[in-house]
Amino acid sequence: MKLDRQQKRTTIYDLAELAGTSASAVSAVLNGNWKKRRISKQLAEKITRIAEEQGYALNMQASLLRREKSHIIGMIVPKYDNRYFGSIVELFETMARDKGFFPLITCTRRDPALEIEAARAMLSYQVDCVIATGATDPDRVTELCAAAGVRTINLDLPGKLAPSIISDNFAGARELTRRILVSCQHRFGSMEPLMFVGGRGGDHNTMERLRGFRQAHADHGIDLDDDRVIACGYAPEKAQSALMERATSGLPFSKGMFVNSTITLEGVLRWVRLAGPVSEQEFALGCFDYDPLVALLGDNIEMVRQDVPAMLARMFELIEHGNFEPNVSEIPPVLR
Amino acid sequence: MKLDRQQKRTTIYDLAELAGTSASAVSAVLNGNWKKRRISKQLAEKITRIAEEQGYALNMQASLLRREKSHIIGMIVPKYDNRYFGSIVELFETMARDKGFFPLITCTRRDPALEIEAARAMLSYQVDCVIATGATDPDRVTELCAAAGVRTINLDLPGKLAPSIISDNFAGARELTRRILVSCQHRFGSMEPLMFVGGRGGDHNTMERLRGFRQAHADHGIDLDDDRVIACGYAPEKAQSALMERATSGLPFSKGMFVNSTITLEGVLRWVRLAGPVSEQEFALGCFDYDPLVALLGDNIEMVRQDVPAMLARMFELIEHGNFEPNVSEIPPVLR
DNA sequence: CGCATTTGCTCAATCGATGAAGCAAGATTT
DNA sequence: AAATCTTGCTTCATCGATTGAGCAAATGCG
């Protein structure tokens, strides 16, 4: 790995020499509190000019070593490659920067070991705060960080030891289920019980969505057997093979499906293509997630959009108020 | 912003005191070269145990300040929220970690000023190397980094001052155009010239794709006027309003369209929905980009998938060989 | 004019980890 | 027994920026 630096970097000592002053003055000028330190305007301007000429860049490592707060804010995300987490990350970066934080983001691919390793790395980089997004074990992260005196906030999936900001999964799922049922009525003339595809039985979001799913069936007086629920995980391959198996198993099968995420939807659609009927038009689908292209292309696919801007706004609110009591904020999702 | 640290962090000095030894020994043990420094196995084990008991986390800032290479590798990306850049970022992180780098990623939303600011921040964090992905002005980034002795590599869009890794846009566009023309033949019985929607006239990728687009028309002996090209930028809104305008302008209009990215496709589909004919089925579309859900849902949408794994493999190859000569590697994209 | 205050700086310690140099005790050689 | 080598540490300077303390010169005040 030939990444040898070409030349030595310019430091405040170099600038001090060039300006005929002290490193202390240079530091004061460049980090903006030259007024507080009673540096004359002329000297300040001279130093600023020389720094620009020399292309000086602050050494953050040195600066952070000395300061007590880093203003670095870490975020752990399970995946980048879907619109939900993509928009979380993108908006988080923007908002963090606006509020004077430096965002440090790590993707842990739903791997519990990687999550812990990533949290540890963030502690090493002296983050002031860690956001655990969709973490498989958020409380583990909170414990680890607490040991170093670093606060955490859970996003998307809740934990018991830190404040959590999640979607109102129950209400969202109930309304989504209602819409799928109505769509079934229109399309097929009847309201059969739906299938629930994707997610992990143990995770809070899946459990709450299932509760909403069941409630909506009850609202319409429809009996729902547990065997309509296929919580096979989020991965497309798992959903695909679970449906394949189900279709040939003799167990009940529905044309109406509640799909737990766009990731899972990919597997459902693959199954529709390969092993199922000709087109997804013969199904009534609903997805607890949002993707603009699916919204445009999937005529018969209802979508729930989690309100990312509201969730992140709430998150920064908690940070700014120093509120790190464990409690859950539920943010209503948006239905198109 | 109440992010006050709760307690003081454990340092090697604390550990040294607890172990009844020196900070130097602790450091040697914890960073793995205790053998080289002739520390006895017993002391090493004792220190390791105490460090674990205390939940010690290395202070990277202090460590990096002392070392000459940071092993931090920075990446600048225009957007997170589409599958192409999402997969670039996710795979980059994984590969960087595997190779012993610490990935530092920043999203600059195609804003030239933010790009420069992000590059400057990365220099402050002492990155060993910067990857400028889809940068609006990659050479500016290279110059800035070069002044600090930091090498750069361009990804997705080429620059003149650093090695660039891009898709073979010409060949990909030529083949994609051919497929759209064939699809038009099947669908509409004739081969009219296509429209080209999205991208910026000035950017290298758009220019090369246009060259492939023109070549494919020539291959089929089809005359192509310049007014079929609508390089209105990548944003959905721009594509949507450009099509709206075009449809009412009296200028020629085609049912076959070459769409420059999934981002632009979103605008095209919105236009189809709102102002155009009933369904996208009445069009023959091709998109120079890949999205698995579009591939599954859009029956009449041809897609080109840029070969992200091959591009990143090439990138790390360059880094490992210390090859920073400005030259362009073209990676063939994959057509489904 | 003499004393107090303000202005405009510099000095030096510090943050935590690293590693070259050095040193004492024990082992080995002559 | 003296000389040399090896083992297993410790000491201390260093990385670059920050900041409390301090100091000389300039200014204000009675």
Chains A, B: CB pairs < 8 Å: 185
Average pLDDT over residues A297-313: 94
Q: What pLDDT score does A82 carry?
A: 87
pLDDT for residue B160 is more than 70:
yes
Confidence of residue B65 (pLDDT cuts 50, 70, 90): very high
Query: Which residues of A fall within a CB distance of 8 Å from B3?
Result: 69, 128-129, 151, 319, 322
Confidence of residue B82 (pLDDT cuts 50, 70, 90): confident
Q: How far is the CA of A16 from the C1' of C11 (A)?
A: 14
pTM above 0.85, yes or no: yes
Residue B34 DSSP code: T
Structure tokens at A207: 């459990």
Q: What percent of chain B has pLDDT over 70?
A: 96
Q: What is the pLDDT of residues A90-149, one digit of tens each?
A: 999 999 999 999 999 999 999 999 999 999 999 999 999 999 999 999 999 999 999 999
- The reply to whether A65 has its C-beta less than 7 Å from any atom of strand D is yes
Q: Is B90 on the interface with A (CB under 8 A)?
A: yes
Q: What pLDDT score does B3 carry?
A: 62
Q: Is A91 on the interface with B (CB under 8 A)?
A: no
Q: What pLDDT score does B55 carry?
A: 93
- In A, residues 228-247, which contact B (CB 8 Å cutoff)? 236
- Of residues B129, B103, B215, B107, the one with CA closest to residue B170: B215
Which nucleotides of chain D are near protein (any atom < 7 Å from a CB)?
7-12, 14-20
- The reply to whether A67 has its C-beta less than 7 Å from any atom of strand D is yes
Q: What pLDDT score does B248 carry?
A: 86
Q: What is the pLDDT of residues B185-218, one digit of tens each?
A: 998 888 899 999 999 988 999 999 999 999 999 9
* CA geometry: angle A322, A323, A325, nearest 5 deg: 140
Using C1' positions and the CA of B22, the closest nucleotide is D10
Q: What pLDDT score does A282 carry?
A: 81
Question: Could you give the 3-state DSSP secondary structure of residue B105?
Answer: strand
- The reply to whether B21 has its C-beta less than 7 Å from any atom of strand C is no
pLDDT for residue B6 is more than 60:
no
Q: What pLDDT score does A151 carry?
A: 96
Q: What pLDDT score does B276 carry?
A: 60
- In B, residues 270-329, which contact A (CB 8 Å cutoff)? 270, 272-273, 280, 291-294, 296-298, 319-322
Confidence of residue A257 (pLDDT cuts 50, 70, 90): very high
Q: What pLDDT score does A3 carry?
A: 64
What gap in Å lies between CA B329 and CA B166, rounded to an integer?
6
Q: What is the pLDDT of residues B96-138, one digit of tens each?
A: 999 999 999 999 999 999 999 999 999 999 999 999 999 999 9
Q: What is the pLDDT of residues B169-189, one digit of tens each?
A: 999 999 999 999 999 999 888
DSSP H helix total and E strand total for chain B:
13, 14
Average pLDDT over residues A47-65: 96
Q: What is the pLDDT of residues A266-294, one digit of tens each?
A: 999 999 888 765 666 788 999 999 999 99
Residue A42 has a CB neighbour count (10 Å cut-off) of 8
Residues of B 16-45 whose CB lies less than 7 Å from any atom of strand D = 20-25, 28, 37-40, 42-43
B interface test, pick of A7, A79, A80, A320 with most B CB neighbours within 10 Å: A80
Confidence of residue B336 (pLDDT cuts 50, 70, 90): confident
In degrees to the nearest 10, what's the CA dihedral of B187, B189, B191, B195?
-40
Average pLDDT over residues B71-97: 95
Confidence of residue B249 (pLDDT cuts 50, 70, 90): confident
- Of residues B105, B104, B121, B103, the one with CA closest to residue B113: B121
Q: What is the pLDDT of residues B258-305, one digit of tens each?
A: 999 999 999 999 998 887 666 667 889 999 999 999 999 988 899 999
Q: What percent of chain A has pLDDT over 90?
A: 85
Confidence of residue B93 (pLDDT cuts 50, 70, 90): very high
User: In the 3-class helix/strand/coil scheme, how is chain A assigned residue by residue?
Assistant: CCCCCCCCCCCHHHHHHHHCCCHHHHHHHHCCCCCCCCCCHHHHHHHHHHHHHCCCCCCHHHHHHHCCCCCEEEEEECCCCCHHHHHHHHHHHHHHHHCCCEEEEEECCCCHHHHHHHHHHHHHCCCCEEEEECCCCHHHHHHHHHHCCCEEEEECCCCCCCCEEEECHHHHHHHHHHHHHHHHHHHHCCCCCCEEECEECCCHHHHHHHHHHHHHHHHCCCCCCHHHEECEECCHHHHHHHHHHHHHHCCCCCCEEEECCHHHHHHHHHHHHHCCCCCHHHCEEEECCCCHHHHHHCCCEEEEECCHHHHHHHHHHHHHCCCCCCCEEEECCEEC
Closest chain B C-alpha to A186 CA, distance in angstroms: 20
Q: Is B146 on the interface with A (CB under 8 A)?
A: yes
Cβ-defined contact of A69 to B123 (cutoff 8 Å): no
The sheet that has A229-230: what strands, in order across it?
A229-230, A195-197, A256-259, A284-287, A301-305, A334-335
Residues of A 5-44 whose CB lies less than 7 Å from any atom of strand D = 8-9, 11-13, 23-24, 27-28, 30-31, 33, 37
pLDDT for residue A206 is more than 80:
yes
Q: What is the pLDDT of residues B13-44, one digit of tens each?
A: 999 999 999 999 999 999 999 999 999 999 99
A272-300 burial, b for 16+ CB within 10 Å, e for fewer?
bbeebeeebeebbbbbbbbbbbbbbbbeb
What gap in Å lies between CA A285 and CA A119, rounded to an integer?
37
CB B250 within 8 A of CB B215: no
Residues of B 64-123 whose CB lies less than 7 Å from any atom of strand C = 65-67
Structure tokens at B79: 């957007």
- The reply to whether B63 has its C-beta less than 7 Å from any atom of strand D is no
Q: What pLDDT score does A217 carry?
A: 97
Cβ-defined contact of A296 to B269 (cutoff 8 Å): yes
Average pLDDT over residues A304-310: 98
Q: What pLDDT score does A180 carry?
A: 96
